[in-house]
Amino acid sequence: MKKILVTGGAGMIGSNLVKRLVIEGNEVFVIDNLWRGKIEYLNDESGSPVIPLDTHFFNLDLSLPDVADDIMPKIDYVIHLADIVAGIDYVFNNQGSLFRQNNLINSNMISSARNFKESIKGFIYVGTACSFPLTRQNSLDVIPLSEEELYPALPESAYGWSKLMGQYETELLEKETDIQTCTLMFHNVYGSPCDFGERSQVIPALIRKAINYPEEAFHVWGSGEQGRAFIHVDDVVNGIISALDNGWNQGHIQLGPSVCTSIKEIAESVVDISGKDIDIFYDTSKPEGDKARSADYSKAKRILGWEPQIDLREGLEKQYNWILNQMELAK
């Protein structure tokens, strides 16, 4: 049994990870300020919390220094998921505050691990494919990204830069202490439970619009030609679980498929799943971010024994049904 702290543990990735860790017999603690996460995401199918909320859940703002220090003596391993992230409109309209908040969150959490370097055995930092150089993501002719291409650094967004800074500080933690570290760089994660409101990312936003149509127009930001390597949350959790055993001190490892799927394909799939006759409008006045990317996941396969398992269409159907159910319950 490992004693594990999951920051951002009430979010989409975090809540699925917490449940998996508990099932496997670990003692799990969660920090989340509930900016996007929800307490109920930590419930099992019967509606009961999977961890004792009074002793193992902490509603804390990690942008404040030392707030995690009281929890750290109880912990063997940290999985640091917490950050400020949202859809492309939020990211590009709040770059300064997002950059500052993520730097504070990452640096404060890494500092807390450093403060307890005698007892913390491992620190997993979750980075992002957004940290790869813009020059490798500005063409629709996609060559899968490899880890060796991260530097020279040139992320497109403040979000990508902020996550890269946390990644660098995690490397310093490994060099200057006996704490083992692992950095996992995620591509575009989707699944449930998720935020499908105004700050939501592309897939849940499109699903919400399809469910609401025609009361809400089905507008897609950008040309739709831009593409991403979409990875289901269950596959991401599998990667994190494997990293707890095999990922230490191996540098950064990306998790994502080698296939780049256009937003147009996602939009058309969502419309097809909805069963509605929906007019798709591509709003080219809106930002669309990096042109396209996918992952050469050979390092993850070699070190973690990891490959994507969830078919994209299957994953979209699951997420559509979850959001539909949540919207019906809210009526």
CA 291 to each of CA 138, 140, 263, 287: distance values in angstroms, whole numbers, following the listed order: 5, 6, 10, 11
> Which residue type, as a one-letter code, is found at position 326?
Q
Torsion on CA atoms 273, 275, 281, 283, rounded to nearest 10: -30
Residues 14-29 as b or e (16 or more Cβ within 10 Å = b): bbbbbbbbbeeebbbb
- Give pLDDT, residue 189: 97
Q: For residue 321, how far is the Cα from the chain centroid?
A: 21
Its pTM stands at 0.96
- Give pLDDT, residue 331: 82
First vs last C-alpha separation in the chain? 42
- Give pLDDT, residue 298: 98
- Give pLDDT, residue 287: 86
CA 276 to each of CA 53, 223, 273: distance values in angstroms, whole numbers, following the listed order: 41, 22, 8
The total of other beta-carbon atoms located within 10 Å of residue 71's CB is: 18
- Give pLDDT, residue 34: 96
- Give pLDDT, residue 158: 96
- Give pLDDT, residue 112: 98
- Give pLDDT, residue 288: 86
- Give pLDDT, residue 157: 94
Contacts of residue 95, defined as CB under 8 A and 6 or more positions apart, other chains included, come to: 157, 158, 159
- Give pLDDT, residue 242: 98
- Give pLDDT, residue 198: 83
Helix (H) or strand (E) run with residue 31 in it:
strand 27-31
User: Closest Cα partner for 301 from 244, 240, 239?
Assistant: 239
Contacts of residue 308, defined as CB under 8 A and 6 or more positions apart, other chains included, come to: 231, 232, 235, 256, 257, 297
CATH fit for domain 3-191+231-256+293-310, picks 2.40.160.60, 3.40.1190.20, 3.40.50.720, 3.30.70.20: 3.40.50.720
Q: For residue 287, how far is the Cα from the chain centroid?
A: 21
* Helix, coil or strand: residue 305: coil
pLDDT beneath 70: ranges in the chain? none
